[in-house]
Structure formats: structure tokens, C-alpha cells
Amino acid sequence: MIKSFRGGIHPNDNKRYTAGMPIEIALLPKKAIISVRQHIGAPCSPIVEKGDLVKKGQVIANSEAFVSSPVHASISGVVIDVAEYPHVVFGKCLSIVIENDGLDQWIEGIPLARDWEKLNENEIKDIIKDAGIVGMGGATFPTHVKLSPPKEKKIDTLIINAAECEPFLTADHRMMLEYSEKILIGVKIVMKVLGVKKAYVGIEDNKPDAVCVMQKAFAGTTVEVVAIPTKYPQGAEKMLIKVLADREVPSGSLPMDVGVVVQNIGTVIAIYDAVLNGIPLIQRVTTISGSAVKEPKNLLLRIGTTFEEAIENCGGFIEPPAKIIMGGPMMGFAQSNLKVSIIKGVSGILGLNKKDINNGTQSPCIRCGKCVSVCPCGLNPSMLSILGEKDMYEEAKLEQNLFDCAECGSCVYVCPAKRNIVQYIRYCKMKNTVDAAKKKEALDK
């Protein structure tokens, strides 16, 4: 038995909607709205103008910054607009709109065939950077940065995150079943770049078929495929490292501080495509699911496809949804409309009905302690929410480890008083950050 992490919850995983649905290639979008902020880090600047003809795989926005990642055209066609459009995370963002010419033509030189074993680490890293690869689990941190840890940090272990602990999502699950060959090579490439001998693939044990396929694929390698206990938030980097490598990332530190790099399974597949075939990140597998969606599916979607068109691929809605979520129901972002488009980190689009999101009304804390026992970060969420309610955000930071909260939402899920604990925590963090910025400004003067 593998020792699990402290705390965590067991929500209904609702994966039955799509777990058995093979990945389906979505219809080409009529137009692609491609945001220049597909990632964490510096936004890109458009390098095409209205009226330009672009081809699939062509770089359309770029940045000089190291912590950034170029953006490619996901379809061929004409640039019809470069302006602000709705964005799944930032509300609004500068985007490049391409009208599809229906030809789906690659730009010259793609795809190609390369022997990855002849490439050295830096060449591979450059390919990954140029292909615009970012963390596809949802964090969208540029992958080439993650693969370039400072020299003083000795990395000895690679962990492939295939836990997929968010309810509803099955994209990673399907990819493991269908792209095992790519995953095998992709993991080997990443191990070469990092110079590590040991790797783990962590899969929650509610996906026994995926565990089986992966174990077969990695048989005879130094990569250990581990079925880990199903428990949210198992897919959180720190929890995964704790369970697989038995290392606890110290508060305020990064996985590389304990010698570990974590990569998502989707990212590994994107690395395979880029390194072997020169294909940049222009599409991804996304789970379209939820009680309001007519035919839930796992779709291979082009970046820039609007939510509207993605859901049309699934036959639309059975009933008007009450909430549209980008990502999973525990940590995803609610969307106000369907005009938003897919960015590289969209692992799921959920349409939930009223019953699913019945959140009840908040009442005072009855100190039942459920939140304390489920908090994987070892905090007292009850106290944090009370401090937030009373606007005592400084005390929350100084005495209750405010900034150690990963906002996984486990406390909110279990709270019988239906308290908006994470919301209060976010408020406290924001107030402290604003205060710190003000203080710094005053000092600078």
C-alpha cells in the first residue's frame, strides 16, 4: 500500500460521462481566436497584421522574455482582426483572429522527421521553446523554463502527473490509453534533458485500464508506473511528490528544491510531437462534459476554438446550463459567456446544471473541524475564513500561514455551513499583496 498524503476529499468523480469515449477530432473551427497570453509569464506581441495570410504552425506572436512562450496559428487562413477578446482567465486579452480558409495547410517545413537521440539537451530545449509548449495540466508554465533548473539545484527525479484528480476530466486518461507510444518516447526525451535516471508516472487508481497500458508501455525501463490512491487533490504537485517520492516540498519552495521536476502527461505528448515531428502546440485534448452537455466527449481541439463551437461538437446543451467552467469543478474558472476560446491550459469545458452548483447559503462556522481534517496543506481553514470575514488579513498571514494555502477548495467542499472559505482566503491574500506593494512603494520614495 502506498501511503497517501494528509487530508483530501473524495468527491463524486463523474468521469463516467467520458471515460469510455475515445478521443474525437473536432471539426475545424470557422475562426480561431488566439490569445497572446496562453501561458504564465510575459505576454507575446503579435507579429502578424490584419489581412495577413497565415498557415498552420506559423508563429503569430512572440516575446523576447525567457519566461514566455511563442504562439502559433492553429489553422490556415486570413487574419481578420487583432484586438481585445474575452479570455478564459484574464477576462479580456489581445487576440489574433484567423478566419479559416478550410485548407488546413501546414507552414513549410512541418511536419518533419527527426531522430531525437541525436539531439543534445540544449537543442531539445530550444525545440520545446520554439514549439510553444507550456504545462498543459492547467498551470501553463512554460515547459522550457521548468526544464532549465538553476545549476545548483540537482534534479534526480522526474514525475509525470497523470493523476487527473479533478472530477469530470478524462483527457489525460484517454491520452494514456491512446497515445502510450508517444508518452514512452516523450518521457525518455524529458529524462534526457534533465539528466535523470529515475522517473515515476503517477496515476490515480480509479483508472485501472490506464495503469495497465502504461505499465506495459514502460516495462523494462527505469520508469515506474504507480497506481496511487484516488483522492483529491492528488494531482497537486506537492501532494504527488509526497506520495511518489516521499519528499515534502518545504513551505514556500518549489519541487526543484527537493530534486524533482513534475510534468503533465499532455505536455509530454506535446514534447514528442515537437521533437520528433516539429509540430508546435496548436491543439490539445479537452474533455467537454457536465450534466447540461448533450453528448459529453473528449475532443482534440485546435487552440483558439471558441467554447461555443467546441460545445456544438457535442450536440449543444440538453438544458440551459447554470454554469460554464474552464477546467475542473474544484479549481476551474467560471465563464460568463461562450465567446471565450481554448488556450493551451484548457483541460476541460464543463456545462453544469442548477442542481450541480447548488451551493446553499453561508452560515456561521460551527467549528466541526472537517476543513481542518481535509486540508492537505495543514492549515486551519475555519479560522482563516473567520479572519477574512472580519477583515483581519494581516493576522491571517502572520498567525495562520495564509500563503501556504493552495486554494484546492477541499475545505469549501466539505463545509456543512457552506462557508466560502477559499474566497475569504483569496481576499486576504489579495489585501496582503496590495499592502506589501504599497509599503514597497513608500520605501522606494
Partner 1 sequence: MSEIKSQENLFTISTSPHIRSEESISKIMWTVNLALTPAALFAIYHYGTSALIVLLVGSLSAVGFEYLVQKLRKKKITITDGSAFLTGLLLAMCLPPMIPPYMAIIGSFIAIVIAKHSMGGLGYNIFNPAHIGRAAIMVSWPVAMTTWTKLTPSVDVVTTATPLNILKQQGYANLIHTFGSAPQMYKAMFFGIRNGSIGETSTVLLMLGGIYLIYKGYVNWQVPVFMIGTVGILTWVFGPVGLFTGDPIFHMMAGGLIIGAFFMATDMVTIPITKKGQVVFAIGAGALTVLIRLKGGYPEGVCYSILLMNAVSPLIDRLIKPVKFGARR
For partner 1, the closer CB: 120 or 359: 359
Q: Using the rule CB under 8 A, which residue among 126, 219, 369, 391 binds partner 1?
A: 369
Picking from 228, 226, 246, 230, the residue whose alpha carbon sits closest to that of residue 238 is: 246
Q: Using the rule CB under 8 A, which residue among 22, 208, 250, 315 binds partner 1?
A: 250
In the shown chain, the binding pattern of residues 1 to 30 toward partner 1, with x for contact by CB under 8 A and - for none, equals ----xx--x-x-------------------
For partner 1, the closer CB: 125 or 153: 153
Q: Using the rule CB under 8 A, which residue among 272, 409, 428, 431 binds partner 1?
A: 409
Q: What's the closest the beta carbon of residue 52 comes to partner 1, in angstroms? A: 29
* CB 267 within 8 Å of CB 138: no
CA 244, CA 11: separation in Å to the nearest integer? Answer: 22
C-alpha cell at 54: 497565415
CA 162, CA 263: separation in Å to the nearest integer? Answer: 9
Decide: residue 294, CB within 10 A, 0-12 exposed, 13-18 middle, 19+ buried. middle
CA distances, 105 to each of 56, 108, 274, 276 (Å): 6, 9, 17, 19
Q: Using the rule CB under 8 A, which residue among 103, 337, 390, 436 binds partner 1?
A: 337
For partner 1, the closer CB: 111 or 369: 369
Q: Scan residues 415-434 and list those touching partner 1 (CB under 8 A).
A: 415-418, 422-423, 426
For partner 1, the closer CB: 122 or 337: 337
Q: Using the rule CB under 8 A, which residue among 95, 170, 382, 385 binds partner 1?
A: 382
310 binds partner 1 per the rule CB under 8 A: no
Strand 323-326 to strand 348-352: parallel, antiparallel, or no bridges (unpaired)?
antiparallel
Q: Which stretch binds partner 1 (CB under 8 A): 120-128, 131-139, 178-186, 333-341?
A: 333-341
Q: Scan residues 340-359 and list those touching partner 1 (CB under 8 A).
A: 352, 356-359
C-alpha cell at 347: 483541460
For partner 1, the closer CB: 8 or 46: 8
375 binds partner 1 per the rule CB under 8 A: yes
206 binds partner 1 per the rule CB under 8 A: no
Q: Using the rule CB under 8 A, which residue among 334, 398, 430, 434 binds partner 1?
A: 334
* CB 94 within 8 Å of CB 33: no
40 binds partner 1 per the rule CB under 8 A: no
Helix intervals (H) in 316-420: 370-374, 381-389, 393-399, 410-414
Q: Which residue has the cell 495540466?
A: 137
DSSP secondary structure letter of residue 371: H
294 binds partner 1 per the rule CB under 8 A: no
Q: What's the closest the beta carbon of residue 238 comes to partner 1, in angstroms? A: 7
Q: What's the closest the beta carbon of residue 174 comes to partner 1, in angstroms? A: 22
CA 227, CA 219: separation in Å to the nearest integer? Answer: 15
Q: Which residue has the cell 496543506?
A: 377
Q: Using the rule CB under 8 A, which residue among 81, 104, 121, 312 binds partner 1?
A: 312
Strand 297-302 to strand 24-25: parallel, antiparallel, or no bridges (unpaired)?
parallel
CA 216, CA 210: separation in Å to the nearest integer? Answer: 10
